[in-house]
Amino acid sequence: MDKLIITAALTGAEVMKEQQPALPVSPEEIASAAYECFLSGASIVHIHARDSSGRPTQSREVYRDIMERIRSKCDLIFQPSTGGAVWHKVEERAEPLELDPEMATLSAGTCNFGSDVFFNSEKTIEYFAHKMKKRNIKPEIEVFERGMIENALRLHKKGLIESPIHFDFVLGVPGASPGGIEDLIHMVNSIPPGSTWTVAGIGRNELPLATFAILLGGHVRVGFEDNIYYAKGELALSNAQLVQRVVRIAEELGRDVATPAEARSILGIRRKDL
Ligand code: KMH
Ligand code: ZN
């Protein structure tokens, strides 16, 4: 079994400081949270930027600031969001790709997202896939519903996504796939052999799905974007606290944790920068 890749999804576009006071929002806070997660065992950071008022932004320059601050501290894989917030325009969402990150997310379909709708028409998905291919950016395929795997496979057939495909099953978003163990198994059984996958369990789904992924040979995403609690009714103290728990469970279950260099090798990413 490959070593375990832990992704820390630090901020997201939906959670606010009023809900989670430790939410990292400024570039400085995000970089410092990223470094803490790196020291705790994360090898990828999934980043959403915020402007100076705390509102989600897809500004290339804010992402650049965050990326440079993280790079000055450690060799974490920087994975910006191209999902942004549900109200961002497609062109805005694509801005962080201009930084040529090693990796970026690619949402593979439309779904309800709480009381909103997260729009990703086939044209939009192809637009992002094309840009990522051209710039040699490894896509992480965000799957909120089973049908999104089929969308990704169609793109693969068209040559817009290369094998092996890396999926992130985002399970438990209200309005999309629930986050039961059986939902994860169904997803895992639906992807081509040789693919890699991680799971982002939303809210109370985070811990059981992470544990199951460790056992199944998948990878794990945790962080305030997905879940702000450590236990029922108890807010987590930091993103790093959530990473540290995954590391402890992995150790107990006999699964080694990957460094960023090992994660690059598992995912077939050639380090671009530095
Ligand atoms: N904030 C969600 C609407 C991604 O980062 O690529 C979309 C999202 C997916 O978080
Ligand atoms: Zn995200």
270 has pLDDT over 90 = no
What is the per-residue pLDDT across 248-266, written as a single tens digit (0 to 9) for each? 999 999 999 999 999 999 9
Q: How far is residue 191 CA from its own chain's centroid?
A: 18
State in Å: Cα 83 to ligand 1 middle: 4
269 has pLDDT over 70 = yes
What is the per-residue pLDDT across 117-142, written as a single tens digit (0 to 9) for each? 999 999 999 999 999 999 999 999 99
**Residue of minimum CA distance from atom 9 in ligand 1:** 83
Q: 184 in a domain, yes or no? A: yes
Q: 273 in a domain, yes or no? A: no
Q: 13 in a domain, yes or no? A: yes
228 has pLDDT over 90 = yes
45 has pLDDT over 70 = yes
Q: 38 in a domain, yes or no? A: yes
115 has pLDDT over 80 = yes
| Ligand 1 site, residue 30, Cβ cutoff 6 A | no
Q: 32 in a domain, yes or no? A: yes
Report d(CA 92, CA 223) in Å as an integer. Answer: 24
The mean pLDDT value for 39-68 works out to 98
DSSP 4: B
Report d(CA 225, CA 221) in Å as an integer. Answer: 10
CATH code for the domain of 66 = 3.20.20.70
State in Å: Cα 232 to ligand 1 middle: 24
235 has pLDDT over 70 = yes
Q: 101 in a domain, yes or no? A: yes
179 has pLDDT over 80 = yes
- Which residue's entry shows tokens 């997201």? 12
Per the structure, the count of domains in the chain is 1
| Residues of the domain holding 155 | 6-267
Q: 36 in a domain, yes or no? A: yes
pTM attached to this predicted model: 0.98
273 has pLDDT over 90 = no
Report d(CA 198, CA 5) in Å as an integer. Answer: 8
Q: 248 in a domain, yes or no? A: yes
Q: How does residue 227 score in pLDDT terms, banded at 50, 70 and 90?
A: very high
